[in-house]
Structure 1
């Protein structure tokens, strides 16, 4: 829901840009290979830098709905990996290094871009849960103790695949709601959609500035 499922080619200034409007989610019944198929397409097209966005629930109580968070690292609580099975040696090593999966250089550039356009870009660790059920308060408390600042149902498989192939990755979460148990209120997909629409212009402003610097 909320994904138009289109691929758009275009130019932003002097930069050639390819945009996937939407993604495949593991919770929709797709295999992990299908979830990361768009990333394989980008790799074969010669793309070297990847910017991912998502909607996430805030765990860090300093955050508020509408905040943007630059992902510094992730916690993967799914047993599934997009790299499971025979390794594609032409793309990357059997055991890939994830210590700088969210490029520190790319994150610094994003922070500089945010400062120039007056966008408050927070930073934090993203926890990946497969969904589609929202997390329970007990799960959120566990994630908080593990060091997660936000939680969502996407992005990490794509990051693993891109990192395996040597792409430089940046990922930005829109905090669309506070996670279960943080506030005394139920969670809904409608709230996620409403908040996402509210921050659309701010996110686009930031992305244009970041891409202009590449």
Structure 2
């Protein structure tokens, strides 16, 4: 395995662990049992990559490599053991930003490597980076990342677009990947620090008699 491949594998496992921990934290807020911790962690950790592989017709990445699920379960056990105090949750917010940025690139790279067109590869990068979080929020009955105005999906989109565009320009994979990661993480970090969000729809709502 060359250096680039090894780096991508490490990023892949690290992102799964981070997302798995975020799923376990969602279970902790609801005071669920240890089995539910593991279920939330696994769904969140591998959800985005599973959807990507199904859509592009690739073997689902964790089926032949159970280490991914084991990493999720280890993250769930760590959250169960050490709790979810405010400091850990803030730290995880930043780790989640790192995982999201890495997955926006890894997802797009896998799609490109299998001959998926550039536009669709961008979509695969965004789905890989965000779909696990969507599943987590649905299961935990929390507002979905898709319904929040904070810059999260937008950051993943920036990372995937940046990476795919640079690869289209024949920039080496490592350089393109670092640039895509920096774009996604930088935008997400700015959103966390400065509370950036997208503007809401400026139009008027429906008349009073049409509202639910």
TM-score (norm 2): 0.34
Higher RCO by CA contacts (8 Å cutoff, separation 6 or greater): 1
Structure number, greater radius of gyration: 2
Scaled by the length of structure 1, what TM-score is found? 0.34
